[in-house]
Structure 1
Amino acid sequence: MPGSTDVVVEMTGVQKQFGDLVAIEDATLVIQKGEIHALVGENGAGKSTLMNILYGLIPRSGGEIKLKGTPVDFSNPADAIRAGIGMVHQHFKLSPSFTVAENIVIGAEPLKSYGRVDFKKARQDTLELSRRFGLELDPEAIVAKLPVGLRQRVEILKALYRKAEILILDEPTAVLTPNETRELFKTMRSLAESGCSIIFISHKLREVLEVADRVSVMRRGRIRRTFQAATVTAQDIANEMVGRSVLLKVEKSPSTFDGQKLLSVKDLDSFGDRGEVAVDALSMTVRAGEIVGLAGVQGNGQDELVQCIAGMRRPANGTISFAGNVVHSSPRAARAAGLAYIPADRGGVGLSLQSSIWENMMVGHFSKVTRGPFISSAAAKANAQGLVDAYDVRGGGIDATAGSLSGGNQQKVQIARELSRQANVVVAEQPSQGVDIGAIESIHKLLVTMRDSGKAVLVVSADLDEIMALSDRILVMYRGQIVADLPASETSYEEVGRYMGGLVATEQPEKSLSATLQRN
C-alpha cells in the first residue's frame, strides 16, 4: 500500500506524451518488496513505456516516482542502475563474442593496478554470484554458444551484479521453451524470496497466474485494476484488459483431417541469410480440413521454411507441392497454385503502410477490380468495402492508409485479403503477434472456419499456447528439421517443450544437408 515500509516503488499519476499521442494518460503502480508483480495489457496499453520511464530510458511528462519513499527522477538508465533497478529486455543486449563473465561485468569491471581489468576477479565474482542465486553458468563460456535460456541467465546476473533490488523482466518467456520457462520461474521465485522485487511484463496469462503474486492490468495508458493472483482467473484478467467479455478458448469441433494432401514439402534444404543450413532435409504435409501447428524456438528454421513455401526464398534442394502440383519458387507461382499467405512482417511484407486500405485489399484480386487492362478504382473500393465490413476492420475508412491502423486492424486487412481469395492452402505466420486479445479471438475463429471449409491451414507461431489451442496436429522444428509429429489432443506442453529444446533424441535423416556438408 502507498506509504507502507514494504513499498519499494510508487508511481503516481505518471503521464507520457509523444507529440499529440498520449501513451500514458494517468498511471499509478505500487510495487512491494519481495513480490513478483505482473504487468499485463493489450499491445499499446503503455506497459513497456511505463517501465522504460521507471528505468530512465525515457522521461515522463507528468506524475511522480518514489523509490523507498524518496522522490526520484532518473535522466538515464545509469541513474536507475545506481538506485538498484535492473531491466532485462525482450531482445538481449549481450555481446555474443564475449564470455559470460565479460558480459556480466562490462561497464562495471573490477580493476587492478594502473586501471587494468582484473579478469580473474571477474570470473570469480561471476561464479560466486551464479552459485548464490542458483543460476549456474560457466564464466568462461562464449555467449554466442549458449542456448537462449542460459543467455537470459546472463542478463539477469548482469543486473544482479550491479546490485539490482528491483528487476524488470520484459516478455522474458517469448523465446524460451516450456522447460526453460519453468527454470526461469524457479529463479524468479528464489530472487523474490531473497527480497528482490520483480516486475514481470507478459501477455501469457497462464504463465502470469503461475508465477505472479499480484497482477496489474493496463488499458489505454492507465492501471485499471490490480488483482491478487491467487484470487483471479485468466478470464477475469482478459476481460479487464479488453474492457469487455472475450472468449479465451478456441471453439472448434474435432477434425478427422483425412482429406487430400494440399501442401507437401519433400526433402527440402535451404540456407539462411548467413550461409548456414537453416532447413535440413525437411519433409511435411498438411491435409484438407486440418490445422497443423509448427512449433519451435525462434531461429530453428521456421522463417526460412515459410519463405520457401511462399516462394520468397529459393530452396537448395527438394520440392514443394500444392495439391500434387510441384511449384517452382516465386510468390506469383505459389499464389497461383492456391496459397494464401499471412506473413508475420505486416509492414515489410504483408502491407504497403503508405497505401490506402482499398489499394492493399486489391492485391491478388485483380481479376475482380480490372476493366480490360485498367484497374477500376470504383470496383477496387467496392471490393475493399465488402471485405472491411465482412472482417470488421476498424479505422478511418477504406481511403485511410494501412499505416494509420492499429496492429490488430492491420492484421485483419491482410487476413481479409488473403482468406477471401480462392486458396486451398493457408499459411498463417505469427497470426496473433502484436494483436490484442479481442482481435486474436476473431483471427482464431477465421482460421478454424478455413479448416472447416476444407482448407489446409499451417499456423507458424512462437506462442505455444496458440499452437496448442488451434492445432489438430503439431509439428516441432529443431535445428532445421521436423523432430516430432504429434496429435494435439494427445500431447502436452511438456512433451512439445522437450522436443523444442532438443531434449528428445532423434535420428539424423540420411539425406541431411548438414551431414552431407560435414562429410565433404
Structure 2
Amino acid sequence: MAGIELRSVSKTFVMTGTRALAGVDLSLRPGQIHALVGENGAGKSTLARILCGFETADSGQLLVDGRPLTFGSHRDAERAGIGFVPQYGMLAEGLTVAENLALGHEPRRCGFLYDRRRGRAQAAQLCQQYGFSLHVDAPVASLAAAKKREAEILRAVARASRLLVLDEPTAVLSEAESHHLFDLLRQLQDRGLAILYISHRVKEILALADNLTVLRDGRVHGTRPMAGLDECSLAELIVDSSACLTLPTANATTGPSAVVLELTDLVVRGRGADSLDGLNLTVRSGEVVGVTALGSNGLETLEAVVSGRLAPDSGSVRLAGRLLASWPPERLRSGLLAYIPSRREELGLCLAATVSDNILSKAVHGISAAAYAWGAEPVRLAGRLLQAGSIRARLHSPVASLSGGNRQRLVTTRELDLDTPCLLAANPAQGLDSAAREQLLLRIQARRDAGAAVLLLSADLEDLAAIADRAFVLYRGQMRPVDPAQLADGTGTLARLLTGGA
C-alpha cells in the first residue's frame, strides 16, 4: 500500500525509564495532511524522530510503500524521501544558509570539492521556488529566530519526496509567516506529498489537517477525520478535559501604579528589520504590556535589550529606578527581573544539567550551604516546583530528556516563582498544549495582580488579546499603540490599524 506506516512501535528511554511510545500504529497517505496531537510529553516528538531516523524503535515496524525499512540514521530517512522540521533548531550556526541547505547533499566539483557557486545557486533557486526571502550568504548565527525556522523548513522541503514531518513549526513564526507556510504545505499536498503536522495550536490544525491522531501517554487514543470538530471539541480531545476557558483580561484589583520598567529613546542600529529607532515604552506595577510585530521584526532585539544581553547604541533602559546595566547580574536575575526567554534551550536551560539543578538555579541563593549540602531542602523545593508546574520529570534526569512542553513548563515555573518587580516573558506559551497555555496565562495574570510589571513579547496575537492591559506593535523600529481586543482578529486587522485603514 502506498504511503508510510508505523505498526506496533514502542520506545523506552533506558536512562530515565520513560516509556515514550507503546504499540503505536500510524498510517500516512500521499496527498493528505495528518495532524498528530496530544498533551506535553505524550510521545509526539519521539514518534517524529523515529520516523525521521533520529531514534530507533525498540519494537515494531516502519513500512514505506508496504516495504519494511530500518533507518540507521536521518540520512537513511532522507534517502527514503522523508524531510524533517524538528522542534529544536538543528542548523549549523557557523555555516551560511546556502551551506546548511546543501549539508549532506553538497554539489561537488572534481569529485570531492564542495562547489560553492553551485551551492549558492541551488539555495537561491529553492528560495525563489518556495517563496522564502532568505539571504543565502548570511551566516545562520546572524539570523533572527523566524528566519532560522524558515531555513529549517526550506531544507526539509528540499529533502521530502514522500513525507514531510513538521514538529511545532510555527512556534516562533508570526501569523503572516505561518500563513505563508500553510500555503506552501497545501501546494505540497496537491503534489501528492504526505505531511505529518505536530502542533498544539488548535486553529492551525482545523485549517490544515485532513485527519487526526491523538496520543496519550505514548498510546494512540484514536484516529479520525477532522470533519465535525471545532476549537473546543479538538482542544478537549488533546487534553482530555474542558479546555475552553475564558481568561479575565482587566485588572480589577489595584490597576497600574508606579513605573517599574522604562525605555527612553532606544536606538539599536545595524540589525536590518530588527533595528530599533527611538523607541519609548513604560511598564507600570500591576499591568501587562504586550508587544507584537508584523513579521516579528524587532521583537528579538527588544527582548535582548530589556534582558540586558544587548546594549543599545543610544537611549536608556531603567529598571526599578536605576539604569539596567548598573544592576549586578546576580541581583538582576534573582531579585529584579524574571525572564522567560524565547530561545529556552540556549538562554533558559542547561541541557546537560539535571531537572533539579535547572529548576533551582534561581533559588540557590536562598538556601544555606549546610541545607544545600544536606540535600533535603533542595529536594523539597524542587519537588514543590515540579508539582506546581505539572512537570512530568524525575529530579535527577537530564533536562535534555524532557519533551519540549515540559522544558517550557520548567522555565516558566522557575521564573514565575520568583517574587520580582518585573517579568519579561517572550513567547512564553510556545510548545504548550492548550490547557498548559491557559494555566500559564493565568499565572502571568496572578503576577500582575500581585503588583509585578509584566512585559509580554509575543508573535502570537492571541496571547496579547487574552491578557494584555495595553498593547503595542513594533513597526519600523517604533512603538504604535493598538487595542488588545482587536488583536484576536489577526494580522489583517493589525495591518489596517498600522496603515490607517478602517
Normalising by the smaller structure, the TM-score range is 0.7 to 0.9
Q: Which residue of 1 aligns with 2:3?
A: 8
Aligned equivalents of 1:52, 1:250: Cα separation in 2: 35
Partner Cα distance (1:119, 1:347) in 2: 32
Per the alignment, residue 267 of structure 1 pairs with 265
Q: Is the 8 A contact 1:474 1:485 kept in 2?
A: yes
Aligned counterparts of 2:329 and 2:156: Cα–Cα separation in 1: 45
Distance 1:58 1:297, change over 3 A: farther
Secondary structure class of the residue paired with 1:230: coil
> Is the contact made by 2:175 and 2:459 (CA closer than 8 Å) also made in structure 1?
no
- Structure 1 position 139, deviation (Å): 11
- Equivalent of 2:212 in 212, 215, 222: 215
Are 1:110 and 1:122, in contact at CA under 8 Å, matched by a contact in 2?
Answer: no
CA distance in 1, matches of 2:66, 2:39: 30
1:432 aligns with 2:429: yes
Residue in 2 aligned with 1:446? 443
Cα shift readout 1:272-319 (whole Å, capped 9, x = no counterpart): 9x9x99655432111343211233489855456445545566555433
- Structure-1 separation of matches of 2:232 and 2:427: 23
| CA 1:303–1:182: 2 relative to 1, 3 Å | closer
**Does structure 1 residue 65 correspond to structure 2 residue 62?**
yes
Task: State how far apart, in whole Å, the 2-side matches of 1:68 and 1:412 are.
Answer: 43
Question: Separation in 1 of the partners of 2:345 and 2:303?
Answer: 15
The answer to which of 80-89 and 26-35 deviates more is 80-89
Q: State how far apart, in whole Å, the 2-side matches of 1:197 and 1:390 are.
A: 38
User: Unaligned regions of 5+ residues in structure 1, if any?
Assistant: 507-520
1:56 is matched with which residue?
A: 53
> Any conservation in 2 of the 1:291–1:451 contact (CA below 8 Å)?
yes
1:37 Cα offset (Å): 1.0
Alpha-carbon distance between aligned partners in 1 of 2:24 and 2:261, rounded to the nearest angstrom? 49
Matched, 1:168 2:169: no
Deviation per CA, 1:340-397: give whole Å up to 9, x if none.
4455648965798475799657457x4xx78xx997999x959976993998355799
| 1:133-192 Cα deviation digits (max 9, x unpaired) | x62469995465998878767666655655612222232222322222212211111211
Match of 1:79 in 2: 76
Please show how residues 453-492 of structure 1 align to structure 2 within 5 Å.
453-477=450-474, 481-491=477-487, 492=489
CA distance in structure 2 between the aligned counterparts of 1:109 and 1:13, rounded to whole angstroms: 39
Q: Residues of 2 paired with 1:307 and 1:476: CA distance?
A: 17
Q: Which moved more, 1:460-469 or 1:329-338?
A: 329-338
Matches of 2:481 and 2:275, distance apart in 1: 19
Is 1:320 the equivalent of 2:326?
no
Q: Hey, what does 2:410 align to over in structure 1?
A: 410
Does residue 201 (structure 1) correspond to residue 229 (structure 2)? The answer is no
Partner of 2:96: 97
* CA spacing shift, 1:281–1:334, aligned 2, 3 Å: farther
TM-score, with structure 1 as normaliser: 0.73
Q: Distance in 2 between matches of 1:160 and 1:394?
A: 36
Say which SS state the counterpart of residue 23 (structure 1) adopts: strand
Q: Which has the greater radius of gyration?
A: 1
Q: Taking structure 1 as reference, are residues 335 and 82 closer, same or farther at Cα in structure 2, changes over 3 Å only?
A: closer
Q: Corresponding residue for 2:235?
A: 238
1:510 alignment counterpart: none
Residues 498 and 99 from structure 1, CA distance in 2 versus in 1: closer, same or farther, beyond 3 angstroms? farther
Does the CA-based 8 Å contact 1:24-1:46 persist in structure 2? yes
Q: 8 Å contact 1:472–1:489 — kept in the other structure?
A: no
Give 1:414's aligned amino acid: R
Report the RMSD for the aligned CA atoms in angstroms.
5.0
Could you tell me which amino acid in structure 1 is paired with residue 20 of structure 2? A
Find the aligned partners of 1:126 and 1:390 in 2 and give their Cα distance. Answer: 47
Select 2:292's aligned residue among 281, 291, 295. Answer: 295
Separation (CA, whole Å) in 2 of partners of 1:153 and 1:44: 25
Structure 1 residues 307, 387: CA separation in 2 closer, same or farther (over 3 Å shift)?
farther
Q: How far apart, CA to CA, are the structure 2 residues paired with 1:139 and 1:332?
A: 38
The answer as to whether partners of 1:391 and 1:412 remain within 8 angstroms in 2 is no
Q: Which moved more, 1:462-471 or 1:10-19?
A: 462-471
Shift of the 62–495 alpha-carbon distance from structure 1 to 2, 3 Å rule, reads same
Identify if the C-alpha distance between structure 1 residues 104 and 283 changes in structure 2 by more than 3 Å, giving closer, same or farther.
Answer: same
Contact 2:354 2:395 survives alignment (8 Å): no
Identity of aligned residues (%): 28
* 1:6-155 pair list within 5 angstroms: 7-19=2-14, 20-90=17-87, 91=89, 93=91, 97=96, 99=98, 103=101, 107=105, 109=107, 123=121, 127=125, 135-136=130-131, 142=137
Residues 251 and 224 of structure 1, relative CA distance in 2, 3 Å threshold: farther
Letter in 2 for 1:489: A
- Give the count of matched residue pairs: 483
Q: 1:512 maps to what in 2?
A: none
Distance 1:51 1:358 in 2: 27
Q: Quick check: 2:291–2:458 contact (8 Å CA) kept in 1?
A: yes
Given that 1:408 and 1:436 are in contact with CA atoms closer than 8 Å, whether structure 2 keeps it comes out as no
